[in-house]
Amino acid sequence: MNRLDHFFATLLWLLGILVVAGITHIVAIFALPEITARDTYARIWGFAKPGQVAVLPPARPDKQAMPFADPALVQSVCPYDLAEGGLRLHADVEADKPLSLSFRTSAGQVFYSMSDLAAQQGKMDVVVLTPSQLEIVEADDDDDDPSQDLRLIAPETKGFVIISAFAAHPSEKADAEDSAKSVTCAVEPVAQD
Amino acid sequence: MSLGTAIVTRSPFFAHASILGKFLSACSLGVLLGLFVTIVEIQRGSGFAAIEAGPWTGWPRSEVSEIDPYTRAILVYSGKISLSESEAMSFVAHGDSDGGEFDPACDYVMKGAMPPARYWTVTLLSPTGEFIANAADRQGFTSSEVLRASDGQFEITLSRHARPGNWLPLGQASKFILVLRFYDSELGSPAAALDAAHMPMLVRGHCQ
């Protein structure tokens, strides 16, 4: 009898370990991206101020802004904080100069991305807004003259945009840097009534 | 004597201490086991969303927020979701087409089919994603700069020693990986054909 009790008590104890291990595992899997990404992307905020575009330093064997960089890309970053208004991003697109934009949360998660193939009349105009800012902007819309802007709702107020310009040859690096730099990124006040 | 009477016959303090001890040991061992399993899973696994095609392992270009938490944790932990990853569909190779791990003492040739894309790049990196220093200051090739035969085919040779044609120097790396990225491709769509026959081969050559 005593032996059986001991057996069940041990079994219960082992089951307890498994349950705790399972919970820990699930929590760790969900928490890990947040923790590691926050660490990585905290550096982004050191490169530029909200509403400014800054070209990331080119990666070198001894010094890299981010791991797994593609040496053929010249990238710039525009952090934003929607608490002060919407973010307006404008890029002029030239033929044979690939350019892409990715819109990310502060932890680096992409919520929208587009390339120059989606440009209209050689331009990319994107406005990033919070849901309440979008309501205000839409209320002011003129039905006869619809806006050509692409409006995106950001899942968080803080985030950043990564602008990537592709250099097919090393000699095109300077051109790619120019196009990564030429993108403008500005805080656009949203009229609060 | 049952467990209940055993606890009653002992002093209440020791009974509580023993239950508390079991509870605490189960919790701490459980946490350790859970973390251990997580670390092993993340370092060895490639996630449910990974696609295998010959020596290449790829992840769909879909927005990171839509992929399963395992894949996301693995990609973020390894750093493979970095700045260029949302723009491109990426594939990583840790070894050759025969399944052998890369050995920097050997030459490797990358050749064969390339899936259609607006442009692609191949980059030589350390397993943690750093560039590998080399005298030629070359980290990879783009689809535009690679030298091709008259039929459009190409070969890229990975070697420590200078090679004619498209030479990707291995430098003094002790370990390396290859990353293949396709920009503006249709590979992210479920209909895309992704198997070893549609991806370049990695053939091991002479070893020293």
pLDDT digits (tens, 9 = 90+) for A29-53: 888 877 776 666 677 777 788 888 9
Q: What's the whole-model pTM score?
A: 0.79
* A&B contacts, CB < 8 Å: 178
Cross-chain residue pair A115–B183, CB shorter than 8 Å: yes
- For chain A, the C-alpha Rg in angstroms (whole number) is 24
| Window 112-171 of B, Cβ < 8 Å to A | 118-119, 121, 123, 125, 128-133, 139-140, 142-145
Cross-chain residue pair B132–A71, CB shorter than 8 Å: no
Nearest to A67, CA basis, from A100, A43, A31: A43
User: B65: which chain A residues are within 8 Å (Cβ-Cβ)?
Assistant: 109-111
Cross-chain residue pair B30–A16, CB shorter than 8 Å: yes
3-class state of residue A143 by DSSP: coil
- Report the run of H or E that residue A45 belongs to, with start and end: helix A44-47
Tell me what the pLDDT averaged over chain A comes to. 85
pLDDT tens across A85-98, in order? 899 999 998 888 88
Q: Report the side by side order of strands in the sheet with B56-58.
A: B51-53, B56-58, B88-93, B177-185, B117-125, B140-142
The yes/no answer on whether domain A47-59+69-188 falls in CATH 3.10.20 is: no
* A67, two tokens: 């791991």
Cross-chain residue pair B2–A59, CB shorter than 8 Å: no
pLDDT tens across B118-172, in order? 889 999 998 888 899 888 889 999 999 999 988 889 999 999 998 999 999 998 8
Domain residue spans of chain A: 1-42, 47-59+69-188
